Amino acid sequence: MKKSKVELLSLPEELLLYILSFLPWQDILRCTSLCKALRQAYMSSSELQYITELGGQQLLPVFGGHISFSKHLQLLRDKLHAWSKLDIHSFEAISIPEQFCTRTEVTIVSGHACFWKPSMHSCKIFPILPKSLQQSIERDFSPDSLCSVPGQTQSDFDVLNVFIDPVQNLLAIVYVTVIGNGNMVYDEDYYIDLVALDGDGAHPQAAGRTLFLSDLPTHEDFITKSTKIEGFGRHIALRLFDDQPCTPTFASRWWLQIWDWQHSTTSNSILSGPIIDPDFDEIDICFLGNDRFLIVSDHLKLYSIEDMSQAPRLLACFSWPVPFMNLRCFTPTDDIARSSHPQIQAPQVTWISNPEHRLLSLVTRYPDLHFVISTRIFFEPDFVDSEGPATIPWESWGPENTRAFPHQFSCKLAVSGSRALYAFAAAGVQIDDSTEYRLHLMDFSPLAVKRHHQQGLGRMVNEPVYGRTYREEGINDDIIEMWLDRDKLYLLKDRFDIDKMDRFEVIEF
């Protein structure tokens, strides 16, 4: 008996589209070049075009809501062309509270401005543009409200740092209890409190209100110089430096611990190491997703944090072309989805950055450079799945995955998803107290800005696409910091006029 064959093109179109939807986006595009029938099927399907648009822009879908695929597709295509609509002179100005205008650490997270003033142990968070958020948070935290040590007053503890995540409604507070001995004050015990931003109690998803540190040297051997707390999803990391002077017999040290804060208040995920010169050899940290972690130092050291019951496992070391000092890593404002709290995000947000295809920004001193690094290199199986951790020379990974730009006082660089924005003052240009700035936008995603207008297919590109150049008309204003979000550019301006406070300028596009 002769067996019958069912050819792909003989299937009903609905079933054919369903089968194609399981293919990677690159394979869907390849299928469109095989024959007219497959191309026509693709052109009739908003779902397949949406899949290829997501992949080409290096995004992942966020499920939820009842928006059609055609609407999703239009939003994505509008996003790709958004920069053609950018007007640097059309902005909304938001004044900064006077008490936070000096010596304040500022971050932008999920449409919220977060201020931390270490000298006053005070913290403030507020939505920059509340109308663009479904739900927003506005809180002031006084020194007394930042610590929950029973029976102790403000003089009994020292708040070292805070981490704010509006998407998870989370405020993490790093503090140390102190004891006095005559005129000497010693650090005693370190803690991290996890509280809800919109309330005064412990965070409802936390395993407990307080995270406890393990295996930290005693205060006689370990005096805090600086701290950094970083979070991503269910993970929180704390980095500490000691402040001991370097001697032939003693090197300063850094210490790091990572918690799965939703499941345990303790952790065995601990790393530490020496610091040869504490004035220059700063150690920075960065999450690359829920299972990978990066330590920025003399090398880029990639760790696996899948098993939180033990120390992070070193996967690979990526070497620099030359030695650098004072390396700092900056996390994008629109980081990958951190939790199941989408109500704080804008209702039209239906995609997130792919952790394997996004950009990191690093700043180095001596030489002064901005680095833009594609995270894809940290997921390449040829590098990180080899037997034992390998040291990858710069020539094997750097030229194809990084871009470097001069870093000076007037230069700023921000990254968001697969895009980077570089701002710098034009050399020697000063006209009527106005400064000319140049903005360069680079898009590292596979889809170029130019498209086939009729077919609607993307064109693959290998080099960054540079955007327009603008003149910024300001009056003795200086850009203190810059953040790039999905559809907004945030500029923190320094107002030199004594009667004017610092302010945010928010440009929507």
Residue 182, pLDDT above cutoff 60:
no
Which tokens hold the place of 161? 């740092």
Instruction: With beta carbons less than 8 A apart as the criterion, state whether 256 and 234 touch.
Output: no
Per-residue pLDDT tens over the stretch 72-90:
888 888 777 766 667 777 7
Q: What is the pLDDT of residue 245?
A: 52
DSSP letter for each residue of 158-205: EEEEEEEEGGGTEEEEEEEEEEEETTEEEEEEEEEEEEETTSSSB-TT
Confidence of residue 322 (pLDDT cuts 50, 70, 90): confident
Residue 183, pLDDT above cutoff 70:
no
Q: What is the pLDDT of residue 305?
A: 92
Per-residue pLDDT tens over the stretch 377-422:
999 887 776 667 788 999 999 988 888 888 876 788 888 888 888 8
Instruction: Report which secondary-structure segment, H or E, holds 130.
Output: none
pTM for the model: 0.82
CA distances 169 to 1, 125, 195, Å, are 66, 11, 8
Task: Indicate the average pLDDT of the chain.
Answer: 75
Instruction: With beta carbons less than 8 A apart as the criterion, state whether 302 and 317 touch.
Output: yes
Comparing 239-243, 323-327, 493-497, which segment has the lowest mean pLDDT?
A: 493-497
The Cα–Cα gap between 228 and 84 comes to: 37
